[in-house]
Amino acid sequence: MSSMSPAPRASSPLGGSAAEESGAPIRAARHSVDAAPPHVVALVGRPNVGKSTLFNVLTRSRDALVADRPGVTRDRHYGVCRGDGWAFVVVDTGGLYGDGDELADLTRGQARAAIDEASVVVLVVDAREGLMPGDHRILDDLRRTGSACVLAVNKTDGLDEVAALAEFSKLGVPVAVAVAASHRRNVDRLVDALREYLPAAAEGPSGVEEPDRVRVAICGRPNVGKSTLVNRLLGEERVIVSEVAGTTRDAIAIDLDRDGWRYRLIDTAGVRRRARVDDAIEKFSVVKTLQAMEQAQVVVVMLDASECVTEQDVTVLGHALEAGRALVVAVNKWDGLDRYQRDRCRTELDRKLAFVPWALRVFIAARHGSGLGELVKAINRAWRATRWEVSAGELTKALEIAVAAHQPPLVRGHAPKLRYAHLGGHDPVRVVIHGSRLSAVADSYRRYLENTFRKRFRLDGAPIRLEFREGENPYEGKKNELTARQVQKRRRLLRHARGR
């Protein structure tokens, strides 16, 4: 099993970023350049000054969710700005000094955490709004931390850059660059200014090593404890947790090293019923959740034990099933149920999850950390099942045993012939079966073969897709042309038959 284990643990990893609605892949949450940790550049500023747009331009991606309204970004997003022979990590943060509600306070806490780990902080300001009191307060906070600071005067498209820089010169930041992130203007100048503060970044490799990790997407309905689970696994308050449903908006990818295993946890937004989703931001959040399922290797679907299995839970499980990913069902808040409620919940799980009987089930309490060890073991087991390797001979032998025990039903008086099988791929596991008359194999017999393979090879937690291939008929579409002698003989036979 050593060949199936992920790569060894990485040193000094950082955080990660999510994928945009355009279909861009979710990138690494933590990165390493050579053996030393990379430099980190944090983007901070008031709400809605263009930090996420600038982040997407610097990382050449569409990872951060962008909308023309304040408060869209809440958690920290990590990406990589790379060039010819250099690279550094960029952190997108939520707006500082916004509204005074609970979520705004938690967002500011995430931004301050990014400032503490940053080598350089980019203070992003809005040239169209001009110098605001909030800009002064943020800069005062940055000066107290002693962090190096670069001023990015954003949204200068259509404005006089010299006048814009002159207005913000009152802040007293020695390095200021006028940019228009939405048009990618003067971003190269900003990068050059940052590299002056990061001399080691110019000597590193142009690429950032991204180790092979087990990608695990944490999905479910809103407010079932997904972010709480991620924080508990990480041992820190990495993502925002609130009683308000829909707190998480982006798919936040974070690396975790545990017991020699490398994981990439993807905390996703909760998926509500389609009829209740009317906000554009929430629609994009759901799209990114579905993309996270597609890009993951293992999907952990969280359920609320107090409600057990709802209709929306079944819908989320259906999305994971369509994605063809290994599946683990984590029943959260299990500590709040008595013995009778637990027995009732187990019965309901058996009844409503009959369409995914192979999914691994774990009962946890994310807030207190109980059951997390079993959850990690289930993730490892499901991932191993997706990396299953078997020879064609062994798989064909299993097919022969299955057919001998239960013959396929007859179709128009003929039975399908299943000759041999071999492994066709992973994520999901594909088994290719060759034979004849396979187009008429009943769905019930397909399920029988899937269950037989899963039981024989212990593939719990991973879906199995069967692909039937029939051999081509070499004479199909060919017409047998008669020779001249055969034509004459045919005519004599016809005349003889008519004469009789």
Over residues 162-168, the mean pLDDT reads 91
Structural tokens at position 134: 């909030």
Q: Is the pLDDT of residue 155 over 80?
A: yes
Q: Is the pLDDT of residue 146 over 70?
A: yes
Nearest to 264 by CA among 238, 297, 288, 294: 297
HEC assignment per residue over 298-319? EEEEEEECCCECCHHHHHHHHH
**pLDDT of res. 280:** 65
pTM across the whole model: 0.75
Mind listing the pLDDT tens digit for each residue in 298-353?
Answer: 999 999 999 889 988 999 999 999 989 999 999 999 998 999 999 999 999 999 99
Over residues 431-454, the mean pLDDT reads 90
Lowest mean pLDDT, pick from 288-292, 401-405, 427-431: 288-292
Contacts of 277 (CB under 8 A, 6+ apart): 283, 286
Say how many residues make up the chain.
Answer: 500
Residue with tokens 């993309």: 291
Which phi and psi angles does 434 have, rounded to 5°? -105, 150
Provide the pairing of β-strand 261-267 with 214-220.
parallel
SS3 247: coil
The single-letter DSSP state of residue 7 is P
The single-letter DSSP state of residue 471 is P
Q: What is the DSSP string of 170-199?
A: GG--S-EEE-BGGGTBTHHHHHHHHHHH-G
